[in-house]
Chain A
Amino acid sequence: GAGVSQSPSNKVTEKGKDVELRCDPISGHTALYWYRQSLGQGLEFLIYFQGNSAPDKSGLPSDRFSAERTGGSVSTLTIQRTQQEDSAVYLCASKEFGAGTQYFGPGTRLTVL
């Protein structure tokens, strides 16, 4: 079946602009996670959704970052007034409710000039 998909695959933006990143989880997966991987850094957790609620948003780096999920499916991660340090690969993962494997999408590579 279809895996996790993310769009766009690449995004180049100018400092100060807003960007929206989209994640389509695997159908039926109730849990959705956002992570980011900066150059030379490990993956870091950003936020997690169970259904449309976000029980844990502790990893969002600043109030410029926000995310929402609608209909228990698609999620968007929005970064306002982008800065150069926001450049990274943003990865989305989904899994079924309860224990289970997280399946990752291919990521969105964000470059802020």
Chain B
Amino acid sequence: RKEVEQDPGPFNVPEGATVAFNCTYSNSASQSFFWYRQDCRKEPKLLMSVYSSGNEDGRFTAQLNRASQYISLLIRDSKLSDSATYLCVVGLQGGKLIFGQGTELSVKP
């Protein structure tokens, strides 16, 4: 079993759609939680950190449930520029990051 598991995707959605990504992690010692975005043949870039209280950044909302070891990302009013691979990431002691396989999102006109 992978340490971080995500929806396999790909997700193909029209512009303006709301899309939700889910992720589960297995290591209860995980200390920090993130969503990263990776464009084709580019390095991953931090989209947002995720907190138990939930957090929002514009059209993006992230949620963490430590009890069920579940992380989510909601994208509202999706744009063409949101097309990318979204990586669910957990951080362990020392800052070591464990990445999910990623979910590919394609937003179509």
* A residues at B contact (CB < 8 Å): 31, 33, 35, 41-45, 48, 50, 55-56, 91, 93, 95, 99, 101-102, 104-107
Contact = CB atoms under 8 A, between A and B. Distances in A.
A8 to B, nearest CB: 15
Nearest to B43: A104
Given A42-B102, A43-B87, A99-B32, A105 B43 contact: yes
Interface stretch (B9-17, B57-65, B71-79, B89-97): B89-97
Interface in B1-45: 2, 32, 42-45
Contact of B44 (A48, A55, A104): A104
- By secondary structure, the B interface counts as mixed
Contacts of A104: 43-45
A35 B97 contact: yes
Given A35-B97, A102-B46, 6 more contacts: A31-B94, A33-B97, A41-B101, A48-B95, A91-B44, A102-B95
Contacts, number: 46
Contact of B96 (A42, A45, A91, A105): A45
Contacts of A50: 94
A56 B49 CA distance: 23
B99 A106 contact: no
Nearest to A91: B43
Given A101-B46, A104-B44, A106-B42, A48 B94 contact: yes
A94 B93 CA distance: 15
